Amino acid sequence: MTNQYIYNGPSYFLAVFAGTFLFWTIGALMSFDPGLADYYMAPMLLGLMMPAIVAIVMIWRQPHSEMKRDFLDRLFSPRRIRPWPFLLTLTLMPLSVLLAILISLAFGGSTEQFQPSEAFSFQTGFIPVLGLLFLAALFEELGWRGYGFESLESGRSFLMASILFGILWSLWHLPLLWVHQSYQYEIYQLSPWYALNFYLSTVVLGIIVSWICHINQRSILVAILFHFVVNLSQEMLSMTQQTKGIQTFVLIGFALIIIASQWPLFRHKAPSR
């Protein structure tokens, strides 16, 4: 985080949450209306774009141009990426899936979970699911890494900023619980515990993504690519919801290893501004 930049975290997250919750609530109501269900993804997309829109507006309102140049460099510059560490981190999510399935076998899980998924676990109206998975990674990380996480670091350790971000990121997904045919809605209908597991795993992933972004010189591009791999990994194999619960514990293990091995980074406290 660069000291010359001015961040307003409360205003950013308040604006993002208000805008997203508004549009996603409209989308939720439309998703249950037979006459409007074909178009519910329009407000859903607007809600998805809010982290990026608010970040870009707040960055471009800065009185000086340094923050704008920094944002564009973090988004487009491949020089920030450490190739081998980045490629290794891309294996974390697929590895967590495979480990979770292997562990599930000891508890009666089926080997059929290793089979590729025959279909996506949710529907997205007129937008192809694969396209939405990428757009989610793009619009979220433009905002989360372009402005949101940076605004949380002031006066906090990297660990506390990462945990706080993970919690806020998780809560941001709450309106999806009442959007018909969304992933969160579908798993909540199966069991509230499955939905709770999703929100817990999101907190843990928030910590992991923050670390991956940081070790690649705060590259927004890296965060987008890793987020997209996360989304794909959750859909690639026929993993059951019970096994996804195991996967959350695997991810917690990964996060603890990362924190322990990078403790000087995680305990470092950024100056207040």
1 found inside a domain:
no
272 found inside a domain:
no
Q: Provide the residue type at 112 as one letter.
A: E
2 found inside a domain:
no
Residues of the chain predicted below pLDDT 70: 1-4, 272-273
Q: Which domain holds residue 126?
A: 9-267
75 found inside a domain:
yes
89 found inside a domain:
yes
How many residues are there in the chain? 273
User: CB neighbours of 41 closer than 8 A, spacing ≥ 6?
Assistant: 27, 124, 125, 126, 127
173 has catalytic annotation: yes
The string of pLDDT tens digits covering residues 122-149 is 777 778 888 999 999 999 999 999 999 9
Active-site residue (options: 140, 150, 153, 235): 140
146 found inside a domain:
yes
Query: What pLDDT, on the 0 to 100 scale, is given for residue 1?
Result: 46
> In total, how many domains does the chain have?
1
Active-site residue (options: 112, 141, 150, 173): 173
Q: Provide the residue type at 1 as one letter.
A: M
CB count within 10 Å of CB 4 equals 10
273 found inside a domain:
no
64 has catalytic annotation: no
211 found inside a domain:
yes
- The DSSP annotation for 52-113 comes to HHHHHHHHHTSSSSHHHHHHHHHHH-GGG--HHHHHHHTTHHHHHHHHHHHHHHTTT--GGG
pTM of the model: 0.95
Question: Is residue 183 within 8 Å of 122, Cβ to Cβ?
Answer: yes
